Structure 1
Amino acid sequence: MHPTTQTAGMRMLRPIHPLQQTMAAFGVLAALSAHYGYSSAYAVLKPLPMVWGMACVWFLARPSRYPIAWALLLLALLLSMVGDICLLFERGFVLGLGAFLCAHLAYLGVLRRETPQWLPSKAAFVLCALLGAVLYGYLWFSGLPAAVRVPVFAYVCVIVCMAAQAIGRALYLRTTAPWCVAAGAISFMASDSLLAIDKFVAPIPGVYLWVLGTYYLAQWLIVHGMLPALRER
């Protein structure tokens, strides 16, 4: 049976629910507060998009036809929120990195659903791996501190696999919603790349708008694209 026949419920993305609109609104507010230097407002607003993302998954995809994937998506958003909070503190970078690494592992478990195998597209994996290798090499030769070389390498490997899995899943299913998720994974890679370059290589003008804009967009796209797959038939 063709995958598009098996996943008829995923053929079209659903209308955007007010919970999703609120998630997006808090993301915009968080990015703007960081950009304009409202540090107190930013500290309050930064985790809120993930709170609303979890609300979207909890209320809009329960009961789920894939309960394990549903729980893993909630876990990924929760770990992302923990990472967001850790990165508010100067000494919280490694802890935040670890939280996001675990979040990507949870996303990997979510994206394994409805695919015949891990990394169903070898071409997608090779492309993502090349991009990850280029980024890590650039950071290394630009003075990446020795203390974070191993954690950053592990993180790059995991996010490469997550993005490749999302793209491979979209190529296999060939419907709109999985491509929404894949776009979110690509946006996540872009956000993390910009953050790493700004932190370890050179400051990027308007970095908060770029990093947070692509980050919140990534999370929103993943949630929006996964909701049709997780909803009960």
Structure 2
Amino acid sequence: METKDEKVIWKLLPFMASVGLYGFSDLPLEIFPETKLAHLVLKCIPVLCLLVMLLLHPTRTSSYSLLLQAGLLSSVVGDACLVYEHLFFPGVGAFGLAHILYVVAFGMSPPAWPIGGVTSVFALSVFYTVALPIAKGPFVIVFLLYTIVIGMMFWRAAALCTAEQPHWTNWTAAAGAAAFIFSDVLLLVNKFHFTLPAAQLIILGLYWAAQAGIAISVFSLPSSQEVSRKTQ
């Protein structure tokens, strides 16, 4: 008999198929039209699949799941914006909002202050070495705020792993938060510093892995049926 945790893989199949579809579209087979709209749709489908997965889960009305759903939806907006060069900074704003929603979802307990301190040092180091050299005028504040919120997002995700009995999906959320940071750093390096080999594949691969790791943390929640059985 399948366990609840084993069913997670099956629920991720549409997401994994959509990631494969995007990779297939990148091959020079001329099956998909090379337009901005086609790119936008194929790029957004994987995160939309994760959103649908949460909407179909028994815990979909819990505050944790609703916050993750809102974060995924905001991320889809960010994905769409980044397809267009002139919408880069609105896209940054959309992802910043997603990180804030994830922070609220993860909560502030346990505090795990040592992780917060190490994360702060790392985040500010990345800001000074990667973001600050390319930021001008008010965009210095934009990049600084984004660095703070994504750093907080990782801190709060990693803090869940310090609980007395962390669920295995708490670890995927922490790994996802870390992958999100590295994806964004590589995006900035590739866009503003120097071109990276296979940049699109690596950046999007890390990004989708990040969103999946965070999304499946909803499986750490007991369903309403399980709660009712325990209270009977």
* Shorter-chain TM-score range: 0.7 to 0.9
Corresponding position of 2:155: 164
Q: Does the aligned pair in 2 maintain the 1:104–1:162 contact within 8 Å?
A: yes
Gaps of 5+ in 2: 227-232
Matching of residue 100 in structure 1 with residue 95 in structure 2: yes
How much has 1:142 moved relative to structure 2?
3.8
Alignment correspondent of 1:78 = 73
SS at structure 1 position matched to 2:7: coil
Is the 2:46–2:208 Cα contact (8 Å) retained in structure 1? yes
1:228 alignment partner in structure 2: 220
Structure label with greater radius of gyration: 2
Question: Which deviates the most, 126-135 or 72-81?
Answer: 126-135
1:111 paired with 2:106, answer yes
Percent of residue pairs bearing the same amino acid type: 25
Q: Which residue of 2 aligns with 1:51?
A: 48
User: Does 1:137 pair with 2:128?
Assistant: yes
Question: Does structure 1 retain, via aligned residues, the 8 Å contact 2:81–2:91?
Answer: yes
Aligned position for 1:204: 196
Shift of 1:125: 1.0
Q: Over the residues paired in the alignment, what is the CA RMSD in angstroms?
A: 2.3
Residues 230 and 48 of structure 1, relative CA distance in 2, 3 Å threshold: farther
For residues 35 and 131 of structure 1, what CA distance do their matches in structure 2 show? 36
Counterpart in 1 of 2:229?
A: none
CA positional deviation for 1:32: 5.4
The residue aligned with 2:141 is: 150
Q: Is contact 2:64-2:218 (8 Å) kept? A: no
Cα deviation code 1:69-111 (max 9, x no counterpart): 1211110010000000011101111100000000011111111
The alpha carbon displacement at 1:128 in A equals 1.5
Q: TM-score, normalised by structure 2?
A: 0.84
Normalising by structure 1, we get a TM-score of: 0.84
Query: Counterparts of 2:77 and 2:122 in 1: how far apart (Å)?
Result: 27
Structure 1: runs of 5+ lacking an equivalent: 1-11
The answer on whether the counterparts of 1:13 and 1:228 sit within 8 Å (CA) in structure 2 is no
- Indicate the residue corresponding to 2:114 in structure 1: 123
Alignment: residue pair count? 216
Given that 1:194 and 1:211 are in contact with CA atoms closer than 8 Å, whether structure 2 keeps it comes out as yes
Deviations 1:125-181 (A, max 9, x none): 122112211111112564433352211111010000000000011111433121111
Deviates more, 1:200-209 or 1:173-182: 173-182
- Indicate the SS of the match to 1:203: coil
1:18-97 → structure 2 map (5 Å cutoff): 18-31=10-23, 33=25, 39-40=34-35, 41-62=38-59, 64=61, 67-97=62-92
Is the Cα contact below 8 Å between 2:78 and 2:95 reproduced in 1?
Answer: yes
Q: Distance in 1 between matches of 2:11 and 2:76?
A: 17
**Conservation of the 8 A alpha-carbon contact between 1:169 and 1:178:** yes
